[in-house]
Amino acid sequence: MADFLVALADFDRRRGWEPLGHGSLFGFLNVELGLSKGAAFVRSSAARLIQTFPDALVPLRDGRLCLSSVSELARVATQDNFAAMLHSRRRLTPSRFVRTNSI
């Protein structure tokens, strides 16, 4: 999944969805790839997080973060709190991760 998200982040950074007639990565994932709106949202959120915080790939690859946790993290991560969130040693559900680590 991490490699897919890296490719997706690159595709989004290049706005690869635009020449295909979509207004956003979300629209591309939903219409072109046939993902549900929820699945498209989670993946587009994760792709944006990886663009902003490439260090999120390490815990995603080693299992400390799951895809839904990355999506939740994308909603609350800032330059000030990301490092603290990233160094959480316990695997948490998305809602608990956010509650535990939000500053």
Threshold 0.85, pTM exceeds: no
Rounded Cα distance between 12 and 101, Å, is: 27
Residue type, 21: G
Tell me the per-residue pLDDT of 16-49, one tens digit each, with 9 for 90 and over.
999 999 999 999 999 999 999 999 999 999 999 9
pLDDT of residue 67: 86
**The pair of three-digit structure tokens given for residue 47, joined into one six-digit string:** 């792709």
Tokens 């995603």 sit at which residue? 60
Domains identified in the chain, total number: 1
CB 26 within 8 A of CB 16: no
Domain that holds residue 34: 2-101
Looking at 1-103, list the stretches that DSSP marks H as alpha helix, in order from N- to C-terminal side.
Answer: 2-13, 25-27, 37-52, 57-62, 67-76, 82-86, 94-101
**The pair of three-digit structure tokens given for residue 32, joined into one six-digit string:** 């072109």
pLDDT of residue 88: 60
